[in-house]
């Protein structure tokens, strides 16, 4: 088998922990054992053939339990120092022909082999598993704790990549391999039930554990020997990447990027199957050093100005090692890197992220790194790396086992924690928040403000993965991601007819939401599809459902079928509706005849903090970051690319505004790629390419808005609210918005913004020209807009209003 199993280190989500077999009777029996002598501990590892990431974890587990016995499928180690000289008890595969070099070929036999290891004499079993170790057989009086580097990735999400790399995509061998992997998946799920406690090596892997095994896990990051790396504050003018050269590490993408930046030097350390292909792409400014001993790697890590990392890793030890050297990281913003690198826009940053594994994205990140807009301190990098030290790992592991199995480790004395005197009292409200999207749209950003500031216990269910999940977990909100891909083609206009696959997908979402709703006092649904699933789950589980309506439910936005579903779900299944504007409230009342006591209008609250943090940064710095012209008058449009959002209106207006530039921030999120193609074709057809800038999706909207002179809102249909208008006001930029929908709750024409007719490009052009030539007008709009945004649309009032409604609804439900 050609897949490199040892590369699979991983991560997951913070959850509660349950000891499946830890009953009082079991504890009494274990206490009797301990009284008669020390508990016996067994440590089970997949295979012992090298010293890599998983073996570093094993080394530290042994340090915690030095008297433990070791078990493994095979043991062919030559250097046994990290095992303290111990030899593993092995399976029958150890003696099979060619096992030393071809042990991976015996994967079909490994489930059977691991089950033949006799651990019946041990009280505590700790498995270190990225393949089969967790499948050992244990009895009801034994406690099995499994440290999971990843569920068997080549049998789950990497199956197709594994088959491709092994040349097993077609033919009889392919069929046989697929049958084996199917068997392995079934065995993997079945044996997960015999584990008492799961530990994940990152949040990323905890989510994978939950998705595959439907089990919670504690996150304890894997150990990194940070003491072996010395920090250095004096950096030299080169970038470094170091890795085994295999396809998923994306070293070739990094090399391609630097080949297009001949003024930047890149040093590449590592070897592997892709070496020749990568060498062929290297230019004179790219030095391919191949495999190097630790001393050389260490020296280069200390001196490099930044470490570049383009893989989607479950954890990524090299990223932590670079920071231990005081070196910031430029990393792909997915997987474990999100947990080990502090982003450039946060406090004490240690690196920055790029969003796609492409040369262009890496080039943009390097340019931003070189711009001087960000500063990185070697001491901050080192301090962040120390969170993942060997000592921290041992402390975390022993403390966790002391909590879940105190009969084996004496727990530390309890420390009484006192709440800060001025802190608001916690609420006992339990909320299940449900959203259909993994993207960070306006509805999701508004929901984020609610759940991160709510005082009760909030758990979130999403129907898709993405930046929204990352943002929620970053503020400590528990998240479960359900598979909602089958709903991806369902459109608001009702033109998509539900097929069998879509109906099966709905049932899966309903089961998952229903499972989470049973522990909630109230279900808080945020979007239309989430409302339908949540309403049915609430009906079955007998939980009240509150819909935060962020749409105008009219024929302009929805098809007849969707409107009928919304109407009857709202009338029959929802306890309460929160509308984000008077326009949204009026539309839902017209559709459903909802009684006044079941409907509240609560304007969205938007935090001013991301904008005030950038007050000291000059506009030219933001323009340099995004590659915008320094001297031009720039108009910004901030929204996902969709026809009803009206980006084409601004392009038409730009033809009349000869000296202006336009910036479009946003992507085509929901099957609207055709519209994006039309916009780009229009730009080329009318010679606007030099004056139109498509920036795609951007995380930092505040920085983007600070880079422009005017913020425009161009929707051609009534907008439910108009979050971008508030953000424009907070960024202290004059705002032009269309005269319809929720916008009318925000803008007083000529006072804090200027209104124009939806779809009227000529009027928009006249307004933009007027703003360009009238600086006093711009200043007055900015001043009044900022006052309006901070006084009427602050987050505190918003969150308190929503929380009060949820509390009231839950309270009424309890009395019934």
pLDDT number for residue 286: 96
pLDDT of residue 615: 87
pLDDT of 406 strictly over 60: yes
Q: Which two tokens stand for residue 129?
A: 């598993």
The phi, psi pair for 412, rounded to 5°, reads -70, 155
Residues 581, 623 share a domain = no
Strand order across the 286-290 sheet: 286-290, 266-269, 239-242, 306-309, 329-332, 351-354
How many domains are contained in the chain?
Answer: 4
Given pLDDT bands bounded at 50, 70 and 90, which one contains residue 734?
Answer: very high
Q: Is residue 758 located within the same domain as residue 811?
A: no
- What stretch of H or E contains 534? helix 528-541
Using pLDDT thresholds of 50, 70 and 90, give the confidence band for residue 5.
very low
Nearest to 188 by CA among 128, 110, 117, 75: 110
Of the candidates 194, 219, 244, which is a domain's last residue? 219
Mean pLDDT of the chain: 86
Phi first, then psi: give them for residue 227, nearest 5 degrees.
-65, -20
Query: Does 403 fall in a domain?
Result: no
Q: What is the CATH number of the domain that holds 37?
A: 3.40.50
Q: Do 454 and 573 lie in a common domain? A: yes
Among residues 326, 358, 388, which one ends one of the domains? 388
Q: Is the pLDDT of residue 684 over 70?
A: yes
In a domain, 407, yes or no: no
pLDDT digits (tens, 9 = 90+) for 263-314: 999 999 998 888 999 999 999 999 999 988 888 999 999 999 999 999 988 7
The rounded percent of the chain whose pLDDT value lies above 90 is 55
Please check the confidence at residue 610 and state whether its pLDDT lies above 60.
Answer: yes
Same domain, 167 and 70: yes
Inter-residue contact 781 to 753 (CB < 8 Å): yes
Domain residues for the domain of 811 are: 430-605+797-815
pLDDT score of 501: 61
Number of other CB atoms surrounding residue 775 within 10 Å: 9
pLDDT beyond 60 at 4:
no
Report the range out of 72-81, 169-178, 747-756, 791-800 with the highest average pLDDT: 747-756
What pLDDT digit, counting tens, does each position of 96-135 carry? 999 998 888 898 899 999 999 999 999 999 999 988 999 9
CA R_g for the chain: 29
Indicate whether 168 pLDDT > 50: yes
* Shared-domain flag, residues 471 and 487: yes
DSSP string, 142-197: SEEEEEES-S-TTTTTTHHHHHHHTT-SSSHHHHHHHHHHHHHHHHHHHHHTT-SE
Q: Which helix (H) or strand (E) holds 77?
A: none
Question: Do 53 and 171 have their domain in common?
Answer: yes
Long-range CB pairs of 471-476 (<8 Å, 24+ gap) are: 471/440, 471/444, 472/448, 473/13, 473/14, 473/203, 475/448, 476/14, 476/452
Q: What percent of the chain clears pLDDT 70, i.e. is strictly above it? A: 89
Q: What is the mean pLDDT of residues 607-624?
A: 89
- Counting Cβ atoms within 10 Å, is residue 572 exposed (0-12), middle (13-18) or buried (19+)? exposed
- Which stretch of DSSP H or E encloses residue 54? helix 53-64
State mean pLDDT over 413-426: 46
In a domain, 394, yes or no: no
Residue 398 inside a domain? The answer is no
Q: Which residues contact 143 (CB under 8 A, 6 or more apart)?
A: 19, 21, 22, 30, 123, 124, 125, 196, 197, 404, 405, 408
Q: Give the residue with greater pLDDT, 46 vs 425.
A: 46
CATH of the domain at 327: 3.40.50.2000
| Structure confidence at residue 181 (pLDDT) | 84
In a domain, 406, yes or no: no
Residues 151, 179, single domain; the answer is yes
pLDDT of residue 166: 65
Is residue 409 in a domain? no
485 against 224, higher pLDDT: 224
What number of H helices and E strands is found in the chain? Answer: 30, 25
788 and 802 in one domain?
A: no
Q: Determine, yes or no, domain membership for 413.
A: no
Give the span between the Cα atoms of 801 and 790, in whole angstroms. Answer: 16
The region of weakest confidence among 433-437, 529-533, 610-614, 670-674 is 670-674
Q: Please give the Cα distance from 323 to 377 (Å, whole number).
A: 10
Task: Please tell me whether residue 328 adopts helix, strand or coil conformation.
Answer: coil
Mean of the pLDDT values across residues 354-381? Answer: 92
pLDDT of residue 37: 54
Among 219, 236, 270, identify where a domain stops: 219
pLDDT of residue 30: 42
Q: How confident is the model at residue 426 (pLDDT cuts 50, 70, 90)?
A: low
Whether 411 has a pLDDT exceeding 90, the answer reads no
Residues 96 and 241 in one domain: no
pLDDT of 485:
66
Q: Quick one: pLDDT band at residue 486, thresholds 50, 70, 90? A: low
Residue 132: predicted pLDDT:
94
**Predicted local confidence at residue 377, as pLDDT:** 93
Q: Are residue 495 and residue 622 in the same domain, yes or no?
A: no
Per the model's pLDDT, the better-predicted residue between 421 and 24 turns out to be 421
Mean pLDDT score, 772-785: 94
State the Cα–Cα distance between residues 55 and 51, nearest whole angstrom: 5
Task: Sheet with 545-549: list strands edge to edge.
Answer: 478-481, 457-462, 430-435, 522-525, 545-549, 576-579, 599-601
In angstroms, the Cα distances linking 678 to 667, 674, 682 are: 13, 6, 6
pLDDT in tens, 498-556: 555 677 878 889 999 998 888 899 999 998 889 999 999 999 999 999 999 998 888 88
Summarize pLDDT for 136-160 with one digit per residue, the tens. 999 998 999 999 998 887 677 667 7
397 burial via Cβ count (<10 Å: 0-12, 13-18, 19+): buried
Look at residue 410 and tell me if it is in a domain: no
- 76 and 149 in a single domain? The answer is yes
* Whether residue 311 sits in one domain with residue 235: yes
Nearest to 368 by CA among 637, 663, 699: 699
Check residue 21 and give its pLDDT. Answer: 37
pLDDT at 500: 59
Q: What is the pLDDT at residue 162?
A: 63
pLDDT tens sequence across 41-54: 999 999 999 887 78
- The yes-or-no verdict on residue 419 having pLDDT over 50 is no
């Amino acid at each position: 088998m050609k897949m490199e199993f040892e590369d699979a280190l991983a991560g997951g989500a913070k959850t509660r922990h349950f000891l499946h077999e830890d009953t009082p009777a079991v504890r009494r029996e274990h206490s009797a054992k301990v009284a008669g002598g020390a508990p016996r501990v067994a440590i089970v590892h997949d295979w012992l053939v090298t010293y890599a990431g998983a073996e570093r974890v094993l080394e530290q587990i042994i340090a915690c339990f030095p008297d433990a016995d070791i078990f493994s499928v095979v043991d062919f180690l030559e250097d046994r120092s990290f095992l303290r000289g111990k030899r593993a008890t092995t399976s029958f595969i150890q003696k099979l022909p060619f096992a030393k070099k071809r042990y991976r070929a015996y994967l079909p036999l490994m489930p059977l082999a691991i089950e033949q290891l006799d651990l019946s004499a041990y009280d505590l079993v700790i498995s270190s598993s990225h393949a089969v170790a967790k499948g050992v057989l244990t009895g009801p009086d034994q406690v099995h704790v499994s440290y999971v580097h990843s569920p068997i990735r080549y049998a789950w999400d990497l199956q197709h990549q594994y088959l491709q790399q092994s040349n097993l995509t077609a033919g009889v061998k392919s069929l046989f391999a697929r049958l084996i992997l199917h068997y392995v998946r079934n065995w993997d799920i079945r044996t997960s039930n015999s584990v008492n406690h799961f530990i994940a090596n990152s949040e990323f892997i905890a989510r994978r554990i939950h998705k595959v095994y439907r089990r919670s896990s504690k996150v304890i990051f894997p150990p990194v020997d940070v003491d072996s790396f010395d920090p250095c504050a004096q950096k030299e003018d080169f970038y470094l990447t170091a890795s085994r050269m295999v396809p998923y590490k994306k070293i070739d993408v990094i090399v391609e990027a630097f080949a297009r930046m001949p003024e930047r030097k890149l040093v590449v350390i590592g070897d592997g199957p892709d070496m020749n292909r990568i060498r062929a792409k290297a230019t004179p400014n790219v030095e391919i050093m191949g495999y190097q001993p630790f001393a050389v790697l260490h020296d280069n890590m200390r001196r490099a100005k930044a470490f570049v990392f383009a893989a989607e890793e479950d954890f990524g030890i090299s990223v932590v090692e670079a920071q231990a050297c005081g070196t910031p990281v430029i990393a792909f913003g997915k997987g474990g890197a999100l947990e080990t690198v502090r982003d450039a826009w946060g406090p004490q940053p240690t690196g920055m992220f790029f969003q796609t594994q492409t040369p262009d994205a890496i080039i943009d990140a390097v340019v931003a790194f070189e711009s001087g807009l960000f500063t990185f301190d070697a001491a901050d990098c080192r301090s962040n790396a120390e969170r993942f030290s060997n000592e921290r790992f041992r402390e975390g592991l022993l403390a966790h086992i002391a909590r879940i199995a105190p009969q084996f480790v004496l727990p530390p004395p309890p420390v009484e924690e006192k709440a800060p005197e001025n802190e608001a009292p916690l609420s006992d409200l339990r909320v299940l928040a449900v959203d259909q999207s993994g993207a960070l749209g306006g509805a999701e950003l508004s929901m984020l403000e609610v759940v991160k500031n709510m005082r009760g216990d909030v758990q979130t269910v999403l129907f898709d993965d993405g930046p929204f999940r990352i943002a929620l977990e970053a503020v400590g909100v528990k998240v479960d991601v359900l598979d909602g891909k089958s709903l991806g083609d369902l459109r608001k206009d009702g033109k998509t007819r539900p097929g069998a696959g879509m109906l099966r997908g709905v049932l899966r979402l309903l089961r998952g939401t229903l499972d989470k709703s049973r522990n909630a006092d109230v279900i808080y649904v945020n979007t239309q599809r989430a409302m339908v699933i949540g309403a049915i789950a609430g009906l079955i589980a007998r939980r009240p459902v509150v819909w935060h309506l962020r749409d105008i439910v009219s024929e302009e936005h929805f098809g007849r079928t969707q409107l009928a579903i919304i109407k009857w779900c709202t009338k029959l299944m929802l306890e309460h509706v929160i509308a984000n504007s008077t326009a949204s409230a009026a539309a839902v009342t017209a559709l459903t005849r909802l009684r006044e006591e079941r409907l509240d209008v609560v304007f969205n609250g938007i935090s001013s903090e991301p904008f005030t943090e950038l007050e000291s940064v000059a506009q030219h710095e933001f323009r340099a970051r995004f590659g915008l012209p320094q001297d031009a008058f720039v108009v910004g449009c901030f929204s996902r690319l969709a026809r009803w959002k009206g980006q084409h209106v601004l392009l038409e207006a730009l033809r009349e505004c000869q000296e202006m530039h336009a910036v479009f921030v946003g992507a085509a999120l929901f099957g609207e790629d055709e519209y994006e193609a039309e916009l780009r074709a229009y730009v080329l057809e009318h010679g606007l390419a030099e004056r139109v800038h498509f920036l795609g999706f951007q995380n930092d909207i505040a920085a983007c808005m600070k880079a422009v002179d005017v913020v425009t809102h161009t929707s051609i249909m009534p907008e439910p609210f108009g979050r971008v208008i508030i953000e424009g006001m907070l960024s202290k930029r004059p705002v032009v918005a269309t005269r319809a929908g929720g916008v009318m709750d925000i803008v007083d024409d000529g006072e804090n913004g200027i209104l124009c007719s939806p779809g009227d490009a000529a009027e928009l052009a006249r307004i933009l020209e007027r703003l360009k030539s009238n600086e006093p007008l711009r200043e007055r709009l900015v001043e009044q807009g900022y006052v309006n945004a901070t006084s009427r649309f602050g987050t505190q009032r918003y969150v308190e209003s929503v929380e009060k409604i949820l509390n009231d609804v839950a309270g009424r439900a309890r009395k019934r």
